[in-house]
Amino acid sequence: MDVPNEFEAQQLAAKERFLAAENARQKKARSAGIKLAVIGVLLNAVNVFMVVANGRYFIVTTVIGPAWLLFGIWLALFGQPMDPRTGRPAKWGIAGMVGAVTLGAALSALALFALNGG
């Protein structure tokens, strides 16, 4: 059995601390994603209810509801991925977040067009 020297033991301890901090950070990001997704669902539900019941809608909920929903789903699924080489957010993670918000904005524009009789 290979016994690690003092330097290797310190490196192993530092790696374990880093992984524990990374897991805690990912847990917070995923928790925030779930909260954003729930808020997005509620905003969309209020809007659907208002359209069905009164034939009216709220512009703000129509605009931010889908974007928050999709952004929240992205965060809940992937957290905030980090690039292990740089310690900064991974470019694919940033692209996914931007893509989720962009798709939400496109769906919002489509909903506004449909609601205005387009």
Domain ranges of the chain: 6-115
Of the pLDDT bands very low, low, confident and very high (cuts 50, 70, 90), residue 14 is confident
**Full-prediction pTM beyond 0.85?**
no
Distance, CA of 6 to CA of 13 (rounded, Å): 11
Contact 112, 59 (CB under 8 A): yes
Q: Is the pLDDT of residue 100 over 70?
A: yes
Question: So what's the pLDDT on residue 1?
Answer: 52
Contact 81, 90 (CB under 8 A): yes
Question: So what's the pLDDT on residue 46?
Answer: 93
- Using CA atoms, how far residue 41 sits from 9, 65, 78, 110, in Å, is 48, 7, 19, 17
Q: What is the pLDDT of residues 77-97, one digit of tens each?
A: 999 888 888 888 899 999 999
Q: Is the pLDDT of residue 33 over 60?
A: yes
